Amino acid sequence: MTGDVAEARPIAWRIGTVHEIIAETSRVRTLVLDVPGWPGHRAGQHVDVRLTAEDGYQTERSYSIASPPGDPRISLTIERLEDGEVSSYLVDELREGDTVELRGPIGGHFVWSVRDGGPLMLVGGGSGIVPLMAMLRHRASAPDGVRRATPARLLYSSRSWREVIYRDELAHLADTDDSLRVIHTLTREPPPSWPGYARRIDRAMLAEVTWPASAHPHIYVCGGTPLVETAAKALVELDYEPTSIRTERFGPTGGPA
């Protein structure tokens, strides 16, 4: 076409082959995919996954990318949802060597790069950790000086300790990097003598763990709608600039799942 505005090209569907399946929790699996022709992605982006039944019925869902930019494979961490026809298949039925259709990367608002600098404040709940983990992995791959100049904190809400996704990796990242702090809160079943928070994320908790507003942190909030709305409202009340707060809602009511 002619003119000043070029026609946008549709994002192509690609075939991903399951290279590895990692059990994160009893309900959560990470699918590590080989995707020929993958164009690369930014931390925080997602893909659409399409399933086609033998009778031709098709359905799609969006899933955030867990792997960092530059990884040769694409990782999708998926939680099995009650009555979730796509998540149930991907978590329970898919095996190594199987293939799935996907297209991406998609999304340009909920993204972060080490070039954006810090401080970096991440707030997540449940499977909302996935795009935040891509950011932490991206940060961890940066040169030591760059990483230390970009301090980060993660406030992560889970129902119980056994349901903490990436639990061991998060502990390793925090233990080996004194410029990263990981704070957990458990909302339903804290273990005996649990020393941390044991309630839903609220304004008081955010005030205790975040940098002061004067530090101008980059803030990313991802999780179910109630968590995201509560956290975003509280952060604005704590004088953080609304434009510095980026949100993404997870689950069946909107956003990647």
Question: Does 27 reside within a domain?
Answer: yes
Question: Does residue 230 share a domain with residue 180?
Answer: yes
Per the structure, the count of domains in the chain is 2
- pLDDT band, very low/low/confident/very high, at 2 (cuts 50, 70, 90): very low
Indicate the SS3 state at residue 224: coil
Q: What is the CATH number of the domain that holds 161?
A: 3.40.50.80
pLDDT value for 253? 38
Q: Which residues contact 63 (CB under 8 A, 6 or more apart)?
A: 46, 47, 49, 76, 77, 78, 130, 256, 257
Q: What is the DSSP letter of 26?
A: S
Containing domain of residue 145, as a range?
114-249
Question: Does 6 reside within a domain?
Answer: no
**What distance in Å separates the CA atoms of residue 167 and residue 240, rounded to the nearest whole number?**
29
Q: Which residues contact 219 (CB under 8 A, 6 or more apart)?
A: 121, 122, 123, 210, 235, 240, 244, 245, 246
- More confident site: 1 or 191: 191
pLDDT value for 257? 45
Q: What is the CATH number of the domain that holds 35?
A: 2.40.30.10
Question: Does 4 reside within a domain?
Answer: no
pLDDT value for 123? 98
> Quick one: tokens of 152?
């980060």
Positive or negative, the CA dihedral 202, 204, 207, 208 is negative
Question: Does residue 147 share a domain with residue 60?
Answer: no
Average pLDDT over residues 28-35: 97
pLDDT for residue 254 is more than 60: no
Question: Does residue 76 share a domain with residue 59?
Answer: yes
128 CB-side CA count, 13 A: 29
pLDDT digits (tens, 9 = 90+) for 120-172: 999 999 999 999 999 999 999 999 999 999 999 999 999 999 999 999 999 99
Question: Does residue 118 share a domain with residue 59?
Answer: no
Question: Residue 127 CB: number of other CB atoms within 10 A?
Answer: 26
pLDDT value for 83? 79
Ranges assigned E (strand) in the chain: 13-23, 28-34, 46-52, 58-64, 74-79, 99-106, 120-125, 152-160, 180-189, 218-223, 245-249
Q: Which residues contact 156 (CB under 8 A, 6 or more apart)?
A: 122, 123, 124, 125, 129, 132, 164, 170, 182, 183, 184, 185
Q: Of the given ranges (22-31, 46-55, 130-139, 239-248), which has the lowest mean pLDDT?
A: 46-55
Question: Does residue 101 share a domain with residue 118?
Answer: no
Cα-flanking dihedrals φ and ψ of residue 39, to 5°?
-85, -5
Question: Does residue 245 share a domain with residue 118?
Answer: yes
